[in-house]
Structure formats: structure tokens, C-alpha cells
A and B are shown apart, each in its own frame.
Chain A
Amino acid sequence: MTHSVLVVDDEPHILHSLEFLMKHENYDVRVARDGEAALTAIEEKRPDLILLDVMMPKRDGYSVCQTIRANPEWQDIRVIMLTAKGRDIEREKGLALGADDYITKPFSTRDLLKLVRHYLEPDESPA
């Protein structure tokens, strides 16, 4: 079965690269460019994993994550936060709001892929 991934980022180039990487792994990929669009996409079809940027217009990543965790049906969606400010507090905040993990921009694409695999295919050896 193909895992579905939702990529959320307001930077078109970053979004583009993430989309490419997920497609390359043969995941079912959808994209959203802000928080509102992300929630709409989730309601449309529940993804297995979300790569969620923090700093976005309209609705930031924290708020999206909080909304996801508030919905019992979405409890098992894996959420990986993408932070760019590089402050510990932001990571902690993300984790406290129910994110499964975080990764700091700029990231190594290999590390990102390992992390995604780790959450989507837990049978295989973790990173």
C-alpha cells in the first residue's frame, strides 16, 4: 500500500523540492501552501504523514498541528515539523503541541528521507 504524504510550505521552491523527494520515494504526495489549505487537504483525504512548515501565512504550523491533534480521527497522522528559526523553544513547542518529530531547515535530504521512512515504515530499521 502506498503511503500518502501531505507537504505544507509557503516557499514554492522548498515545496517543489519536497514534492520531488516524496514522489521519488513513490509516496502519494499532495501539497498545500498555507495552513488553511493544509487543513482542507487533510479533511479531503487523511494523509499518513505531514511535512509541516512552521512559518506560514494565514495559519502557522503550530496551529495546524494543534487542530490535527484535537481531532480524534487524526491522532495517528504522523506530523514532522519543519522549522527555520533554529531556536530550541520552537522545537519544544512543536513537540508539545503533538508533532512526532521536527527537522531544521536547511536539512539534509537523506536525513529527511530517513525520518519519513522511519515513521511510515516502522518495520524497517530506524534511522
Chain B
Amino acid sequence: MLSGWSILLTSLAYLCLLFAIAYYVDKRADAGRSVIANPYIYALSIAVYCTSWTFYGSVGRAASSGIDFLPIYLGPTLTFVVWWFVLRKIIRISKAHRITSIADFISSRYGKSTQLGVLVTVIAVVGIMPYISLQLKAVSTSFNVLLQYPEVITPHPSGRVPVLQDTAFLVALVMAAFAILFGTRHIDASEHHEGMVAAIAFESLVKLIAFLAVGLFVTFGLYDGFADLFATARATPEVASLLTLSGASYGQWMTLTLLSMAAIVCLPRQFQVTVVENVNEAHLEKAVWLFPLYLLIINIFVLPIALGGRLAFPGGGVDADTFVLTLPMFDQQEFLALFAFIGGLSAATGMVIVAAIALSTMVSNDLVMPVLLRLTWLRLTERGDLTVLLLFIRRASIILILLLGYAYFHLIGESDALVTIGLVSFAAAAQFAPAIIGGIFWKAGTRRGAVTGLSLGFAVWAYTLLLPSFARSGWLPIEFIDAGPLGIGLLKPHELFGLRGMDSLSHALFWSMLVNIGGYIALSLRSHQSAIERIQAALFVDVFRQSSAQGGSRFWRGSATVADLRALIVRFVGKSTAERALGGYARARGLNLAKLRQADADLVNFAERLLAGAIGAASARVMVASVAKGEVVGIEEVMKILEETSQVIEYSHSLEQKSRELEATTAELRAANERLKELDRLKDDFLSTVSHELRTPLTSIRSFSEILFDNPDLDTEERSRFLTIIVKESERLTRLINQILDLAKMEAGRMEWELDDIDPRAVIDEALAVSSGLLAEKSVRLEVKLDGHLPRVHVDRDRLMQVIVNLLSNAVKFCHQTHGLVVVSAETRDEGLYVSVADNGPGVASENRRMIFEKFQQANEALTDRPGGSGLGLAISRQIVEYFGGRIWVESVPGHGAKFAFTIPLERAPVAQSAE
């Protein structure tokens, strides 16, 4: 027999066990040996997402519309698997800024705005109220159902029970007590509630095991496994429909998925366990698959239990939301029923405790404290120890929040199913999403944008979801829903502005998100950020680019005395905590605070962050402002900070870039240096070669002149031989000087060219005529092969002739000593005019074929008899041909002569640069 007392005692014993766990873990944490610092506990604590709504409500929904309960779990899974980087960023930011709640987060992002903190807190409290009432309803309903054991009846309270006899009210009070015990031990809200987290994780295990136990019992106890159960269901017409995807529209699936994706981040309690209570960012890596795994496991038996319930209780006499409890009762499984009840209780208390703690932090830090601090007549800023006051505010707000939850339950009563109530809360929490997501990825999002978006979204939510729930339960006339307020059809809360064809939730989400996102973006684009907003925006958006040492914002540059700051901190966090924190600060920087009179900006910022942990960012700012006499940073400082933070990307990117560039530059420099050295060497070589080439004929000239002068008695024949040498060497000298000057002019681009359309045949003929003496002298045989028609080319006539004469004299010089043969040919080719001069001399070795076109380079190593010549002829020829846009080269089989050839394009190609 399950008497009321035994249920009550078991419940209390269970709650005491929870508290014992929490107490033990807290003690361990105080001793510095954290129990919860592992990803498994972290993932289990996130499973506080699964409340009694999951425990009872999913089955209820599955019993009426099949697998429609799934999107609620699909959303969070998606967020964790796909959007983990959003979570990671939020966690990183929150750690850097000692964020204590979602209200703190949003207000901090938008310039530590008190206004936003208040707004978010109000939305959260009002929005979560239905959710808490849901837990109260679930616990009290399940208690009342279990009380009927072994009868299976859903108690329908006729009329309203007096508050003091209402199970739900008692449940609310007990839960408030536990929340206070768990959650308000520390004053610093940013410190981890390790005990609470451990208790929550334990509860997550209990509810999972309880649910699995019921599921296994239904599937394998009442039936012979899944196959049997599903076969039976298929054979029963009214149940079979649950097995098809007929229920809701895809639109609703989408809505629910999106909603729950947002909820897993935006629900205050999820923010609390996922972000605030996170002890190590790395735990998220495991949680991203552990938590979805938990969701998967707890959902396996939802459908089997729903089917089992429908089959066991045909006709709908038993509330489907209670199947988890009533099915064991139906089979007289006393202990299983009690265990299921404990599981449901676990789910509910877990949610209520965490939500109450999260909301109370928000209420005290973002709602009450700012107001109290503004009421100057309270002279709060001058009071002594404020920790007691802070704790009182937190505790009072926990009680208040639970009472509000109860009030909603009491007012709305039995009119809505668990799932419906929960979704109303989800939709409220989802209103935070634009401000959060925008806030961490979009620097231009402004406070006015966030305030506008949130207010509009919240107003629409209240109008389309909250007010109708009051109407349905009779507190507002039902016409409000059916005909619109004052009969205005366009304002019907479920068909706003005539929008039909959506379920009420999708409809509400559509309108609220439209005005929320629209307002946020529009106002952000139209309004300007204040200095502090810009700093915070940069710090939030660029959180991964800041050095970890930097911590929160450096808003203060003003001064405060160390004593003032110390007193301020002591007032809010207590003496021991304050001394510990300040001591750590001093040690880390090697300071002696006792000797320091004036606090620098760093210490002021440190104090602000410390206070932010206790009373929230907005209040901390007000408090620090009361002792820090310095001004707020000016715009130029903001710019500096912005540079440091928002442009760190460029810093690190450009650092990489710069080091790459440096490497490249170094390489370039080295190459340039080598090139310079090479040029220097070349210049040196050139000068010494020129010197050598000039001195050689000069030596002969001088020697023979002096010989002639000193030996007047020389015979006539010898005289004339010496004079001939002098004349020849003088000519050689003149030619050489001209060539050097030509080359220098061409290389410097100062050559004057007289370009004209020229018949190449005439030029070749003339060149042959000029060289005929040379040819005859060496009795070289000449062959000329010119095509019948040679195209005209646009060149400088004299220069072209210079090239051909050069090649001819080279050929004569190098051709066979006794049977010399020189072949000149010209024709039209694809490249243009083609002219070649071939000899039958020793040829040019392949390694020399490029080199001989360099100045002063003669491939003369192989020649015993060094041919006369400056070594500039080919270099000059190359310059000329290239100036005409053509090219010059040599073909040779060593031992079988060489053929020098060049081409000149017919289309006047753009002048190849004349300077090398």
C-alpha cells in the first residue's frame, strides 16, 4: 500500500539525499578537490533540459499525435552538434567577463545597460513562470494520481482547492526551500554551484533510469518486446494512427525544431548549467555528443509507453500525461510506480532548482540591486556589509519566483496540457536569441536595437501566447481569442493581421521573431553605439582574438584609492573573499597593495569584474563609478581599444603575412644583393675588358711609333710595314670606340633610330658590297640565296646593315682557312623576315652559343689564332635585332661551321625595350 505519508517520506528522503550529495560535493570543492570537473557530469547537468515535461509530457503528446514530440529533442541535438561553436563562444565570453546570467550576458554586451538587464529579467521571469508552474502541476498531479493507488483515476479537482491545502503550493514551498539551500551558499554568483551541479547530474541519472525502467516494463513486461507491442498497436485502429507521420504539419515541426534550438541556449536554466556552471571549456567537446546521446536514450521508450497507455486505457479515461505513472499502477507494480514518481520528481526539482537559482541571480543583480542603488535615500553605497542584503534578495526572489509559478498554475489550472505550457515558455526564451546571436557575431548591434527587438518580441509573445492562455482558462473573455479584442478581427491573437493557416505557436513565433529581429536590425543600423557599447561589442565579438590575460573591458582609466575599492569589494563579497581575490591580484602582478594608495585602471577593472560576479555587470559599473573619480574613457581611447581588439585579426594575420613578406623580402634582398654584386663584377669586368681592348691597339701604335722615331735608319720597306700596322691598329681603335659608344647608347636607350620601311634585299646587297673587299682578301667563296620576294620591314636601314656586315665579317674571320665558304640567305617565315649567314669554320660549342652574344665574350678558346675583333659585334647585333622586335641566334655543329640567323617581324612589334 502506498499511503500519502510513505510517498511524502520517500520524496523527502530523496530530496535529502540530493542535498547530501550537494553538501558533500560543495565541501570537496571548498577543499579544492572538485568532483564535478569532468565532461560526464557536465553533460548530465545539461540534461536538466529534460524536465517533468519530458518525463510525463512527451508521452502525453506521443499518445495524441505520434512522434510529434521529437522536434523538442531534435533542436537541442542540432544546436549541440552543429552550433557548438556558438556555445563555445558564449562560454568563452562569459568566463572572460564573469557573466552570471543570461540577463547579465545581454546587458553586458550592450554597454552594461541596466535597462536591458531589467528587460531581460522581466521577460525571463514572466516567460519561465508557465514552465515552473508546469513542474508544479506535474509533481502535484503525479502525487495525487499515485495517492489513488491501486485505483487508476486521474483526479479532476472540482472547483479550486484552497491554496494551503493544494499539493502544488506545498510542492512550491519545498522546492523553494531546496533552491535556497542549493543556490545561495555563495555570494559570488559567478562562482560555480558545484553541489547543485552534482545534484542535478544525479537527478538526470535518476530520471533516465526511472524512465527506462518504466519503458522496459511496458515493452517487455506488459508485452513481448517491441515487435509484439507495435503489432498490437497496429491491430488496434484508434492507436494505429500514432505510428504514422500524420499529425502536425511540417511547418509545425520546423517551428518546434527552431524553437528548441533557441531554447537550449536561451532558457535561463540552460544558460546557467551550460555556460555559468561550466568549469572547463574543453568539457563542451564531449558534451556535444554526450548530451544528444542522453536525449536519444531517454526518447527510445516514449512511443512504446504511449502505445502501451493507449492500449491499456482505451477511451481516454486516463490522462495520457500520466501514463508513465499509471501503467505501472495498472499492473500493480507498486515500487516501479513509486520509482517512476521519484523520476518525475527528479525531473521537476532539477528544473525548478536551477531555474530558480538562475532567475533569482537575475532578479537580484539586474532588477533589484540597480533599483536599490539608485534610491539614494537608502544610502546603500555607503552602507557596510551588503552581503547579507544580497543573500536576502536572492532568497526572497527564489520564493517569489516559485510563488509566481504557483500563481500561474493556480490561474491557468487544468486548461492546458504540459507540452503547451512548456512551449509558451520556450517561445519567450527564444526572444533572447537575436540579441545573443547578433551580439556575439555582429559588432554593429546596438543597445537600442536590442531593447527594441526584445520589447517588441516580448509584447507579441504576451499578446499571442500568454493572454490567450488566460482567456482559455476564463480569466479573460473567450471572445478575445475568437473575435479579437473589441471584436477587431485583425487583432485576433491567433490570426494577427489576418495571418491564417498556422498553428498558434508557429503564428506567435513568426510574428514575434519578425518584429524582434526586424526591430533589432533596423534600430541597430539607425542608432549609434556609445563608447562603452563599442568596447563591449568588440570584446564580445572578438573574444577569441584577445589574449586571455586581458580579461574584461578596460573601461576605467580614472583613479580610485585602493582603500575605497577594497571597502567596496568587502561590502559585496565579504571580507575573506575580498582579501583572497585582492591578494591573488597583487601576487600575480608583484604588487604590495598595502603600500599602494592610488589604484590604477587595471585594479579598478579587476574590482569591477569581481563585483560583476556578485551583483552583475550593470550594477558593478554603477558601484565602481561611485568610488572611481576618473572619467569614463574618451573616444580616442575607445579607438585604441578597438584597434587592439577588433583589429587583432589583422595583427595576427598580418604578423603571419609580415613574417612571410619578410622572408620574401629577405630573399629578394639577397637576390638583389647577389645581382648587385654580379652587376658590380660585370661592370668591373667590363671596365677592365674595355681597358684591355683599348690598350691593346694603343700598345702597338705607341710601340711602332716610338720604334720609328728612335730608328730613323730603318729601311723603307720596314718603315712602311710598321706604318701600315699603326694605321690598321688606329682603325681598330676607332671602330672599337664607336662600338663601345653605340652599345652604351643602346643599353641606355639613348640611341637615335631612324625607322623606315625598308626593302631588305637592297640592304643585303649593300652589305655584301661593303664586305666584298674582306671576302676577296681571304679568298672566301660566297653563295647568296635570296627568295624572289622579300617583304619590306620597318627598321633603321644603317643598323640593319651593321648587323649583316657584322655577321659577314665574323663569318669571314671564322671560316675555313683555305677553302672558306660563306652562305648568305634570306626568306620569309612565320616569324617574319629571316636572314642567315653561315660559314664552314670550326663552329660554336653548344655551351658558348648564348655567351657569344654577350659583350666582350668570344668563344675563342678553341682558336690558336685569336681573330681580330672587339668582341662587341654580336652584342651590338643582338641589341639592334631585339630593338626591331626580332631575335638572333646561332646554329652550329662543331667542326662543321656555324650559321648565324636573325628574324625581324613584319608587323612592327612594340619596341622591345632598348635598355637591357
Contacts and interface: CB of A to CB of B under 8 A. Distances in A.
B711 interface: yes
Contacts of B696: 11, 14, 84, 105
Given A55-B692, A86-B691, A109 B707 contact: yes
B706 A109 contact: yes
Contacts of A86: 688, 691, 695
Contacts, number: 75
A18 B863 CA distance: 23
Given A13-B700, A106-B695, A106-B702, A58 B861 contact: yes
A110 B706 contact: yes
Contacts of B716: none
Contacts of A84: 691-692, 695-696, 699
Interface in A23-56: 24, 33-34, 55
A16 interface: yes
A57 B866 CA distance: 8
Given A20-B707, A24-B711, A84-B692, A14 B699 contact: yes
B709 to A, nearest CB: 9
B663 to A, nearest CB: 37
Contacts of B700: 11, 13-14, 17
A105 B863 contact: no
Interface in B697-734: 697-704, 706-707, 710-711, 725, 728-729
Nearest to A89: B688
A21 B692 contact: no
Nearest to A36: B864
A41 to B, nearest CB: 15
Majority-rule SS of A interface residues: loop
Given A13-B729, A14-B700, A21 B707 contact: yes
Contacts of A13: 697, 700, 704, 725, 728-729
B206 to A, nearest CB: 96
Interface string A59-97: 000000000000000000000000011110000000000
A127 to B, nearest CB: 16
Given A84-B692, A85-B691, A57 B703 contact: no
Contacts of A34: 864
Given A33-B864, A57-B863, A106-B699, A87 B688 contact: yes
Contacts of A85: 688-689, 691-692, 695
Interface string B859-870: 011011110000
Given A24-B711, A84-B692, A57 B860 contact: yes
A58 B728 CA distance: 26
A16 B865 CA distance: 15
A10 interface: yes
Contacts of B711: 24
B699 A105 contact: yes
A83 to B, nearest CB: 9
Contacts of B699: 11, 14, 17, 84, 105-107
A125 interface: no
Interface in B814-869: 860-861, 863-866
Nearest to B865: A33
A58 B860 CA distance: 9
A108 interface: yes
Contacts of A104: 695
Contact of B701 (A10, A21, A24, A106): A106
A9 to B, nearest CB: 9
Nearest to A82: B699
A106 to B, nearest CB: 4
A13 B726 CA distance: 9
Nearest to B700: A13
Contacts of B866: 10-11, 57
Interface string A87-125: 100000000000000001111111000000000000000
A21 B705 CA distance: 12
A14 B697 CA distance: 8
Interface string B649-663: 000000000000000
A61 B865 CA distance: 17
A55 B860 CA distance: 13
B704 A17 contact: yes
Interface string B677-692: 0000000000011011
Interface string B519-535: 00000000000000000
A24 B697 CA distance: 22
A58 to B, nearest CB: 7
A109 B695 contact: no
B864 A106 contact: no
Q: Which residue, of B700, B701, B728, has the highest number of chain A Cβ atoms within 10 A?
A: B700
B691 A14 contact: no
Nearest to B694: A84
Nearest to B706: A109
Contacts of A17: 699-700, 703-704, 707
A105 B698 contact: yes
Nearest to A58: B861
A125 B728 CA distance: 38
A108 B861 CA distance: 30
A57 B863 CA distance: 8
B864 A109 contact: no
A20 B704 CA distance: 9
A18 B702 CA distance: 12
Contacts of A105: 695-696, 698-699
Contacts of B703: 14, 17-18, 21, 106-107, 109
B731 to A, nearest CB: 12
A58 B863 CA distance: 9
Contacts of B688: 85-87
B698 A106 contact: yes
Contacts of A106: 695, 698-699, 701-703
Contacts of A18: 703
Contacts of A87: 688, 691
Contacts of A55: 692
Nearest to A18: B703
Contact of B861 (A14, A57, A109): A57
Nearest to A108: B706
Nearest to A15: B700
Nearest to B685: A85
A110 B710 CA distance: 9
Nearest to A87: B688
Interface of A: 10-11, 13-14, 16-18, 20-21, 24, 33-34, 55, 57-58, 84-87, 104-110
5 contacts: A17-B707, A34-B864, A57-B861, A85-B689, A87-B691
Given A13-B697, A84-B691, A105-B698, 7 more contacts: A11-B696, A14-B700, A84-B696, A85-B688, A105-B695, A106-B703, A110-B710
The 7 closest A-B pairs by CB, nearest first: A17-B703, A13-B700, A106-B699, A85-B688, A105-B699, A109-B706, A106-B702
